């Protein structure tokens, strides 16, 4: 493992969170895009889920740089709201989070990478062991005096990471109580679709698997799983996208918006009917139009596939209380919108690309993807602003 923190740094007293971007902000004077992150909304979403999930503990997934809003900011806000257990994907994320939260419990979902048990334990990170090979390496390290803790991931139908039922049985038949196991987990594949038959099958399989490890806390539910009912919640739930205001389950409204992305109008120009807009002349205006050019493109994580063409409508933005549709292809750094019906539109206006008026999942839908991808793809050129500290 290449990244680690010293034990002295890990033991440093917990300090009040300050904006981690403030000292490293690369936004230049006059940069015309911004990302506003409402930490109060994030904390409020966690509290709502914790009330619903109780008496199970409510942890938080903060992988993918805190779903794009900033790992350190997300972790600190959730910690102040009462969250004590966190899930990251890779060790480097865990190292970053440990610097902010020296006393938190941090699990690494992608497991034990070869030869790194000692480094993970030294950094105060718990691997989520997802294969028999990982388990054998972990057991050997523990037998050699290693003192770290870990979780055990059992596959119940995702067929991604996790021990098979037979492999779990073999672990349970051995001396697992001496191996530092602190949690047994699985992951729901279809909880966002309540009627899917795999949900009940995974629940039954996980009950059987968790039963092999009596006394060990168990965790199955993600954001959607929390809303599947008490049977799915076990001892600990692991919400992710619901915390950040994205769609997480059919028929359930998203929680409060956390991330708002805005871009400034660089100019407004008149375009004659029949003239093309942007690369490839993909769209031709049908009427004399006023076209505003915005300072955001796919280099900022706004998906090119959300573009508008003559063949199909694209996404919209929000300006002066109205929706304004995209025109033509989104380019690397710019996009065009139709402001013909918004006479107040001017250079310098701020437009909402997604946030409280344009849902992130709506924009994602035009790109054939999901809100997770937009949030975790946000580029580094936005002026980041954190509000609603808790």
Q: For residues 21 and 283, give the distance between their C-alpha atoms in angstroms, rounded to a whole number.
A: 38
* DSSP E strand stretches across the chain: 33-38, 57-58, 60-61, 85-88, 105-108, 125-129, 150-153, 181-185, 218-219, 236-237, 259-271, 276-277, 283-284, 289-294, 316-319, 322-327, 335-338, 350-354, 383-387
Residue 28 — pLDDT band, cuts 50, 70, 90?
A: low
The mean of the pLDDT values for the chain is 92
Indicate left, alpha or beta for 381 from its phi (over 0: left) and psi (-120 to 50: alpha).
alpha
pLDDT for residue 386: 97
Between 94-98, 124-128, 172-176, 200-204, the lowest mean confidence (pLDDT) is in: 172-176
Tokens 């609603």 -> residue? 388
What is the tens place of the pLDDT at every residue in 90-116?
999 999 999 999 999 999 999 999 999
Backbone angles phi, psi at 294, to 5 degrees: -105, 150
Average pLDDT over residues 358-376: 97
Q: Is the pLDDT of residue 229 over 70?
A: yes
Q: For residues 193 and 198, give the distance between their C-alpha atoms in angstroms, rounded to a whole number.
A: 10
Indicate left, alpha or beta for 40 from its phi (over 0: left) and psi (-120 to 50: alpha).
alpha
Q: Break the chain into its structural domains and give their ranges.
A: 39-244, 259-387
Q: Which residues are catalytic?
A: 63, 279
Is 332 annotated among the ligand-binding residues?
yes
Q: Where are the alpha helices (DSSP H) in 82-196?
A: 91-100, 117-122, 132-143, 165-173
Q: For residues 44 and 258, give the distance between their C-alpha atoms in angstroms, rounded to a whole number.
A: 10
Is 160 annotated among the ligand-binding residues?
yes
Spatial neighbors of 349 by CB under 8 A, at least 6 apart, are: 264, 265, 292, 319, 320
Backbone angles phi, psi at 354, to 5 degrees: -155, 150
Domain 39-244 has CATH 3.20.20.10: yes
What is the tens place of the pLDDT at every residue in 164-173?
999 999 999 9
Residue 6 — pLDDT band, cuts 50, 70, 90?
A: very low
What is the tens place of the pLDDT at every residue in 33-85?
999 999 999 999 999 999 999 999 999 999 999 999 999 999 999 999 999 99
User: How big is the chain, counted in residues?
Assistant: 390
Token pair listed for 325: 């549709």
Cβ(10)–Cβ(102) under 8 Å?
yes
Residue 202 — pLDDT band, cuts 50, 70, 90?
A: very high
Q: For residues 353 and 318, give the distance between their C-alpha atoms in angstroms, rounded to a whole number.
A: 7
Spatial neighbors of 64 by CB under 8 A, at least 6 apart, are: 89, 372, 375, 376
Crossing angle of helices 71-81 and 91-100, rounded to 10°: 50
Residue % of the chain over a pLDDT of 90: 90
Token pair listed for 247: 């769609």
Q: Is the pLDDT of residue 21 over 90?
A: no
pLDDT for residue 54: 96
Nearest C-alpha neighbor of 245 from the set 17, 104, 74: 74
The CATH-assigned architecture of domain 259-387 is Beta Barrel (2.40)
Q: How many CB atoms lie within 10 A of CB 166?
A: 8
What is the tens place of the pLDDT at every residue in 244-294?
999 999 999 999 999 999 999 999 999 999 999 999 999 999 999 999 999
pLDDT for residue 12: 36
CA 326 to chain centre: 26
Kind of pairing between the strands at 125-129 and 105-108: parallel
Q: For residues 360 and 345, give the distance between their C-alpha atoms in angstroms, rounded to a whole number.
A: 23
Give pTM, 2 decimals. 0.91
Identify the three-state secondary structure at position 199.
helix
Q: What is the DSSP string of 52-103?
A: HHTTSEE-EE-HHHHHTT-HHHHHHHHHHHT--EEEESSHHHHHHHHHH-TT
């Amino acid at each position: 493992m290449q990244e680690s923190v010293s034990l002295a740094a890990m033991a440093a007293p917990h300090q009040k969170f300050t904006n981690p971007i403030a000292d490293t902000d690369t936004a230049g004077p006059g940069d015309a895009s911004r990302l506003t992150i409402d930490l109060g909304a994030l904390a409020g979403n966690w509290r709502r889920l914790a009330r619903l999930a109780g008496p199970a503990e409510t942890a938080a997934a903060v992988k993918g740089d805190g779903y794009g809003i900033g790992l350190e900011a997300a972790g600190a806000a959730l910690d102040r709201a009462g969250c004590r257990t966190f899930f990251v994907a890779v060790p480097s994320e865990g190292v970053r989070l440990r610097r902010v939260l020296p006393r938190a419990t941090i699990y690494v979902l992608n497991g034990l990478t070869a030869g790194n048990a000692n480094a993970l334990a030294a950094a105060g990170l718990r691997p989520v062991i997802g294969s028999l090979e990982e388990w054998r390496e972990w057991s050997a390290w523990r037998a050699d005096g290693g003192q770290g803790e870990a979780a055990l991931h059992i596959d119940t139908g995702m067929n991604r990471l996790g021990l098979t039922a037979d492999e779990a049985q073999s672990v349970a038949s051995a001396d697992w109580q001496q191996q530092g196991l602190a949690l047994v987990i699985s992951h729901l594949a279809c909880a966002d679709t309540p009627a899917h038959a795999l949900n009940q099958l995974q629940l039954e399989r996980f009950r059987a698997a968790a039963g092999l490890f009596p006394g060990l806390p168990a965790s199955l539910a993600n954001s959607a799983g929390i809303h599947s009912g008490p049977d799915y919640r076990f001892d600990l739930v692991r919400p992710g996208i619901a915390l950040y205001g994205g769609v997480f389950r059919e028929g359930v409204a998203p929680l409060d918006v956390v991330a708002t992305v805005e871009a400034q109008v660089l100019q407004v120009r008149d375009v004659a009917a029949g003239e093309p807009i942007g690369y490839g002349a993909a769209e031709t205006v049908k009427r004399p139009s006023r076209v505003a050019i915005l300072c955001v493109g796919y280099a900022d994580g706004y998906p090119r596939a959300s573009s508008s063409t003559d063949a199909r409508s694209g996404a919209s933005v929000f300006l002066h209380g109205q929706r304004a549709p995209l025109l033509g292809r989104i380019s690397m750094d710019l996009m065009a919108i139709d402001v013909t019906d918004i006479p107040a539109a001017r250079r310098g206006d701020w437009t909402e690309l997604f946030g409280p008026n344009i849902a992130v999942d709506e924009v994602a839908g035009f790109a054939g993807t999901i809100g997770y991808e937009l949030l975790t793809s946000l580029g580094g050129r936005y002026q980041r602003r954190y509000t609603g500290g808790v």
